[in-house]
Amino acid sequence: MGQLTGHSTAGVGKDIIAYLQGVCSYFDVDIKVTSGFRGPQRQAIAMFSNWIRLKRGAVYKVRSLPLSDRKKLNDYYKIAKESDQVSKEERDKAKKDFLALAKKRVGSKSFHGKGRAVDVSRASVDDRSYAAITLYMKEVKEGRGDIYHFESRGTIPEVDDSIKAQWQKIGARKGPDVGDFPKTKYYPA
């Protein structure tokens, strides 16, 4: 029987965890969580650690991270990680400035900080489980090839027979590569 594995899900909405565990059990897949709840400071650290994968901030909408702030963050990152012309003190200051600005601009806006988002390894999510997850959770496209970022603003209903009936239809289909995949709110054709 499948299960959620990987990173702790402490702090993530119980409805989200129950739904994902239901998907794991029903489709007999292990879904690896790579990130769950994280407050503003941990969000800033995650941004710094993944700045290149985040396309130097380009994955964020301008209303979440204005271009002027994206440029400042990128300048701080360059000094902290890429410049060989600066002292250790300058690197440390640039990293500190990056983290402060990232925390202020994005940290409190992230659904991770609200307990309403998880990142999961793409390798652990097959077509059927993706379709089931996106019936009730939105995938936020971050442009990364290694993870899916799923989030939900509202409460996800408890897994019941009607949801399992939807999943049964998904399980009977062949997947998007053959053009026979259920259309959902978050998985358009």
> Which token pair is 96?
């500190």
Per-residue confidence (pLDDT) for residue 90, from 0 to 100 = 97
Query: 3-class SS at 14?
Result: helix
Count of alpha carbons within 13 angstroms of residue 183, beta-carbon side: 3
Q: What CA–CA distance (Å, rounded) separates 108 from 135? A: 26
Per-residue confidence (pLDDT) for residue 145, from 0 to 100 = 83
DSSP classification of residue 144: -
- At 132-167, the pLDDT tens digits run 999 999 998 877 788 999 999 999 999 999 999 999
Q: What CA–CA distance (Å, rounded) separates 95 from 85? A: 15
> Which token pair is 119?
């990142």
Angle between helices 161-172 and 14-27 (to 10 degrees): 50
The answer to which of 80-89, 103-112, 131-140, 165-174 has the lowest mean pLDDT is 165-174
- At 3-34, the pLDDT tens digits run 999 988 999 999 999 999 999 999 999 999 99
The model's pTM is 0.74
